[in-house]
Structure 1
Amino acid sequence: MMPNTNRHKAETSILSNSGFTLIELLVAMAISSIVLTGLISVYTNLSRSYATETSRVTAQQDIRSAINLLAQDIRIAGLDPLGTAGGGFTVTDTDDIEFIADRDYDGAITSGNMERIRYYLDGTELIQRMDDDADTDEVLLDNVSALSFVYDDTTTPTTVVIDMTVEEPAGRTGTVTRTLTKRVKIRNQ
């Protein structure tokens, strides 16, 4: 009988060390669920933050590029080195600007030489039109919520202040708004 008792103790010992109890598994799953919920929450917040910051950077870069292009063109408004082209402003509205510049220095405003330049807002798009031809319309910037031009003199301005606001979509967090104002001194007036 003696060998039989030792064998029974050995079998019991093997069975008790063979796995986890149901309670241990439930506790481990509960802890894992809490940790996973925390990680998912952190990931979601970081993703939203990344989307918002990306939208901010995009809006800032886009509005800067558009304003710099506008300023570069507006500076040459009225360019008429020979005095025969009749350069100057043709439209000076608060949300629309058009001007003539003799870019090829030939003394005349020639169609097709991009010497008549217009910038205006069409809905939420900033449009550049060349030579008074709608076929040349190019969208410079989308998501523009406000555009205004302020002139020191609407007949022959020497300074134009450009004020533009862009609203860039930022995923679930809504939109990001950026406003930029730039004062442009016209060289040829």
Structure 2
Amino acid sequence: MGHRDPLRGTGDDPGDLPQRDAASGLGHGHGPWPAPAGPAHDRHREHVLMRPSRLRSQDGFTLVEVLIAMSVFLLILLGVFQVFEPSNTAYQSSQRKLSVQQNGRIAMDMIVRQIRMAGAFPENFDANPANDLANGVQIATDTALAIAGDLDGSGASNAFLFCRDASGLRRVRGAIGNAASYTCGNGDILAESVTSLSFAYYDANNNPVPNPPTAPYQLDGQAPGAAPTFVTTTERAAVRRVVIKLTARETVPNQPAQTYTLNSDVRLRNP
């Protein structure tokens, strides 16, 4: 006889396995069988599943909230603008002032460099004496100066006129003896906003030329606008030193005009 298995039937035959009791809902010792869901349960489940959808449909802002947020943002933006606008205006003003000063210095440096080289005639060192040149100072007045020589390293001598008109400080470059080379309107602008340009001349003993230097004056009676003559060169030939004064004025909105003055003292290397 074999042992009786309490989980099996009365015998060892698989057919003796206990069957589910439909009435009690018991079977295999695992408790009652779950009852099928009814209509009420389905309605409750549908209600729970649909609730998040209704909540999501209510997310967002009302028109009043949007208008309030926009008003606050605009107020903040206005405050930021009022803080940075004066700084931006001051920055632009300083940039304009710096530009005027820088342009004036660049122009002054060019004038000084080329005046210093006046009278440097490379033609005087070739084998042909027929093309020798003289008169490094061509025209000299209290407001304009024309000089001659190879002042820009081109290898040939030209006339250079420095002058000022309503457009600013100009430099004219052209052939020596050509009237167009001594006409201020034909020149290139070196610097704008220049309100005055003056020249003072001195001889080897630092005596003013002319003496006394009462403006306006024109050395040897020569003025811009026409080709100079050299019948008389007493005053121009005596020049050994030139003092330049340049004044620039910058007008800035809502601020006092700024005036800058540059001075340079130049000695001629090739008198």
Regarding TM over 0.5, the answer is: yes
Match of 1:128 among 160, 171, 176: 171
In structure 2, list runs of 5 or more residues that go unmatched. Answer: 1-61, 63-67, 126-131, 204-208, 210-234
Asked if the contact 1:56–1:178 (Cα under 8 Å) also holds between the matched residues in 2, the reply is: no
CA distance in 2, matches of 1:122, 1:136: 11
Would you say 1:85 and 2:133 are equivalent positions?
yes
Match of 2:240 among 139, 158, 167: 158
**1:136 Cα deviation (Å)?**
4.9
**Once the two structures are superposed, what CA deviation does each residue of 1:79-127 show, in whole Å capped at 9, x if it has no partner?**
2463831132122211100112256899xxxxxx551111111124111
Match of 1:42 in 2: 83
Asked if the contact 1:79–1:87 (Cα under 8 Å) also holds between the matched residues in 2, the reply is: no
**1:39 Cα deviation (Å)?**
3.1
Residues 69-148 of structure 1 aligned to structure 2 (within 5 Å): 69-80=110-121, 82=124, 84-101=132-149, 113=156, 115-131=158-174, 132-133=179-180, 134=183, 136-148=186-198
Match of 2:199 in 1: 149
CA distance in 2, matches of 1:105, 1:67: 21
Structure 1 SS opposite 2:102: helix
Structure 2 SS opposite 1:99: strand
Superposed structure 1 runs of 4+ greater than 6 Å apart = none
Match of 2:266 in 1: 184
Match of 2:45 in 1: none
Asked if the contact 1:59–1:177 (Cα under 8 Å) also holds between the matched residues in 2, the reply is: no
With a CA cutoff of 8 Å and minimum separation of 6, indicate the structure with the bigger relative contact order: 1
Structure 1 SS opposite 2:239: coil
CA distance in 1, matches of 2:163, 2:266: 17
Match of 1:51 among 80, 92, 101: 92
CA distance in 2, matches of 1:64, 1:119: 15
- Percent identity among equivalent residues? 23
Asked if the contact 1:163–1:182 (Cα under 8 Å) also holds between the matched residues in 2, the reply is: yes
CA distance in 2, matches of 1:105, 1:139: 20
Asked if the contact 1:48–1:172 (Cα under 8 Å) also holds between the matched residues in 2, the reply is: no
TM-score, normalization: structure 2? Answer: 0.50
CA distance in 2, matches of 1:120, 1:144: 11
CA distance in 1, matches of 2:115, 2:248: 20
Asked if the contact 1:76–1:187 (Cα under 8 Å) also holds between the matched residues in 2, the reply is: yes
Q: Which amino acid counterpart does residue 161 of structure 1 have in structure 2?
A: V
**Bigger Rg over Cα:** 2
Q: Which amino acid counterpart does residue 258 of structure 2 have in structure 1?
A: V
Bigger share in strand: 1
Change in CA separation of 1:54 and 1:102 when aligned onto 2, cut-off 3 Å: closer
Residues 22-33 of structure 1 aligned to structure 2 (within 5 Å): 33=75
Match of 1:15 in 2: none
**1:145 Cα deviation (Å)?**
0.8
